[in-house]
Structure 1
Amino acid sequence: MSQDLADVRIVATGLYTPPHSISNDELVAAFNAYVEDFNSKNAAAIAAGDMEPLHPSSSEFIEKASGIKARYVIEKDGILDIARMAPKVAPRANEELSILAEMAVAAAREAMRSADLKAADIDGVICAASNMQRAYPAIAVEIQDALGIDGFAFDMNVACASAAFGIETGLGLIRAGARRIIMVNPEICSAHLNFRNRDCHFIFGDVATAVILERNDGAPASEAWDILGTRLKTKFSNNIRNNFGFLNHCERETGAAADPQTDPSTDKLFMQEGRKVFKEVVPMVSELISGHLGDTGVAPEDVKRFWLHQANLSMNEFIARKVLGRDATREEAPVILDDYANTSSAGSIIAFHKYKDDFKPGQVGVICGFGAGYSAGSVIVRKTA
């Protein structure tokens, strides 16, 4: 899917960052305390060969494996409590705004202020994210109500590529007659993460982003970005998976002696085959971007910046290298992974939000999200003259 009509533009972005941050050192201290406690309580079984011991982690291992140094989370104490190792968030009454909607509304309001837009100026809301708080009512409709928007709203999930798919969907709605669409990406990734698993306990963080799209039929109220083209791709794979859904009822065992290798509840949390993902996703995404640029008539060397999904530093470096034919500089492929960790659908939008102000009219960049599914989406944008 690709068009070069530049009839829709991005006019604003917004970002909500939770107040709590966990450094690698803090996370490792909690994980290693859990490992010591687990091995001590299961010493006899381990000595008899009936159970494998758990192995400690380190900040150096995490940074080398991922490039991550810290992550923002909605709740910190529960994650660092070795008897729980999961965020502890108080339930809210049905009459209260849900926490996922609350995050999205904060990001959306920042975007609306940036573009000097009111609720009456927006026709629809898309909530595009990996981790929906519930099946229904749609989170997007709750966000729409909280913002006071009279129109329509719906949820969509294409994992880490959800923002790119959401932009394409908003673009299509505008071409069908809507004036403006606000697309939000609230991600509470810490709730689906197995903090007892050494290979993945460090990967994710929580955040919310927002993007406002509008019809390109007049002077924008503020700076804007013409959308030169979009391209989407999916290919089924079990190598990144989260089995928790509305057909599952999962009571997570929170005792310190729960075995992360055998506890059946861990099957409902995030799982991935990291090496397979790297091997299969890197060529898929680099070919998607290269082909999209070629079909849109943009040479790779004419792209000022690649705002890539922030999953793993090595993945981003390899993808940029394949597209450019050389190593990309941090200016060309900025990284927010070190502070935010992997925030699923929001990662590429955080990078765009934070690293776009130095563009001059006519300069081109690429927003690209990719992840479970497999799914990938490329959005080529040009700073409006």
Structure 2
Amino acid sequence: MSYTSRITGMGYYVPENVVTNNDLSKMMDTSDEWIQERTGIVERRWVVPGDGNTTSTMGVKAAKMAIENAGITKDDIDFIVFATLSPDYYFPGPGVQVQRDLGIKEVGALDVRNQCSGFVYALSVADQYVKSGMYKNVLVIGSELHSGGLDKTTRGRGVTVIFGDGAGAAIVSRSNDEKRGILSTHLHSQGEHAEELALIGPATTHWVDKLIEENDPENTSYYPYMNGNFVFKHAVTRFEEVIMEALEANSLKPENIDLLVPHQANLRISQFIMKKMQLDPSRVYNNIMRYGNTTAASIPIAFTEAINEGKVKEGDLVCLAAFGSGFTWASALMRW
């Protein structure tokens, strides 16, 4: 028997602490105008040390909402896929922490490390597991805690002003409705550009004791690095390619898209794609101005908000697309 898979519930969580562009201007040489002009971001959420928020606990909060919205219980979950670049620990991954903290039976937990494309990659994994008949309800989470690892000085402003904290989650469930559900997913990578957007250390090649031993205040390898212009040029190309790939695989065209939910990397990228593909602004959902770039969490946060705001109706064609570190890029097309 063949099955289809569809998202039956979505949820998200963001920390209460709002950090505005003006707040950042007190930490580094920047301004609200400078940040908005380059990124479209007005504010983001950062955890406050000691507030109880971690990558896994934020994921748990988003998961609880998704489970409730799907009309199931935690006991109906039979697999977990957790996407993040900022796990609580170097190991184990946060998937098992979610299984523990939600009190889910001893199901499998898989961690996905595909950064900005992580949620779509994780969604693709869940889609295939459900369609194969192996699982009935897969919990997919994208969660990030960036704020604790950013260079909050003028030296790091090009990266730091972009990123925020938060989590989003989805329940991917088995369905027999061939008219609704995930139509296809498309995954790509180009590792030759891996170091153009990366965090090099600490790592097994540049471990903590080595950093301490060097005691070099100029060593920035433990902060994220991004070759901004280079990443932007590749992103706008790959975004369009992977969206078109999904449409062509299903004999559809850009005008058939009812809602595009892009990874919230930079509002300028989203606007470029919108213009290039001739999509009306009402058919592209952006919330980067409120949350910044939450990497693997950005698409599920945005998609949940779009659903809550009534921007997604039954039968709508929805496209999710992401590009990020790796380089990796991906898309998912679904009939809601």
2:244 is aligned with 1:290: yes
Q: Secondary structure at the match of 2:282?
A: coil
By how many angstroms is 1:340 displaced?
0.1
Given the alignment, which residue of 11, 19, 26 partners 2:8? 11
**Structural mapping, 1:337-376, within 5 Å:** 337-356=288-307, 357-376=310-329
**Cα distance in structure 2, aligned partners of 1:229 and 1:272:** 30
Is the Cα–Cα contact under 8 Å of residues 126 and 140 in structure 2 kept in the other structure?
A: yes
**Structural mapping, 1:79-158, within 5 Å:** 88-89=49-50, 99-150=54-105, 151-158=107-114
Q: Secondary structure at the match of 2:172?
A: strand
Larger Cα Rg: Structure 1 or Structure 2?
Answer: 1
**Cα distance in structure 1, aligned partners of 2:255 and 2:196:** 33
| Aligned twin of 1:207 | 166
**Cα distance in structure 1, aligned partners of 2:265 and 2:3:** 29
**Cα distance in structure 2, aligned partners of 1:217 and 1:63:** 45
Q: Deviations over 1:237-260 (max 9, x none)?
A: 12111113442217999xxxx99x
| Aligned twin of 2:260 | 306
Q: Which runs of 4+ in 1 moved over 4 A?
A: 250-253
**Structural mapping, 1:308-327, within 5 Å:** 308-322=262-276, 324=277, 326=278
**Cα distance in structure 2, aligned partners of 1:6 and 1:376:** 26
* CA separation of 1:273 and 1:179: change in aligned 2, threshold 3 A: same
Please report the TM-score for the alignment, with normalisation by the length of structure 1: 0.79
By how many angstroms is 1:58 displaced?
1.3
What RMSD, in angstroms, separates the aligned Cα atoms of the two structures? 2.4
By how many angstroms is 1:321 displaced?
2.5
Q: Higher helix share goes to which structure?
A: 2
**Structural mapping, 1:154-233, within 5 Å:** 154-176=110-132, 177-196=134-153, 197-217=156-176, 226-233=181-188
Instruction: Please tell me the residue identity of whatever aligns with 1:378.
Output: S
Q: Deviations over 1:316-335 (max 9, x none)?
A: 1112333x2x3x43321121
Instruction: Please tell me the residue identity of whatever aligns with 1:367.
Output: L
* CA separation of 1:225 and 1:189: change in aligned 2, threshold 3 A: farther
* CA separation of 1:203 and 1:358: change in aligned 2, threshold 3 A: closer
| Aligned twin of 1:336 | 287
| Aligned twin of 1:30 | 27
Matched residues, percent identical? Answer: 25
**Structural mapping, 1:217-296, within 5 Å:** 217=176, 226-236=181-191, 237=193, 238-247=195-204, 248-249=207-208, 263-264=218-219, 266-296=220-250
By how many angstroms is 1:30 displaced?
2.2
| Aligned twin of 1:49 | none
Is the Cα–Cα contact under 8 Å of residues 3 and 131 in structure 2 kept in the other structure?
A: no
**Cα distance in structure 2, aligned partners of 1:249 and 1:145:** 28
**Cα distance in structure 1, aligned partners of 2:273 and 2:239:** 7
Instruction: Please tell me the residue identity of whatever aligns with 2:173.
Output: E
Please report the TM-score for the alignment, with normalisation by the length of structure 2: 0.90
Q: Deviations over 1:134-169 (max 9, x none)?
A: 132221011111112221112111010000000001
Gaps in structure 2 of 5+ consecutive residues: none
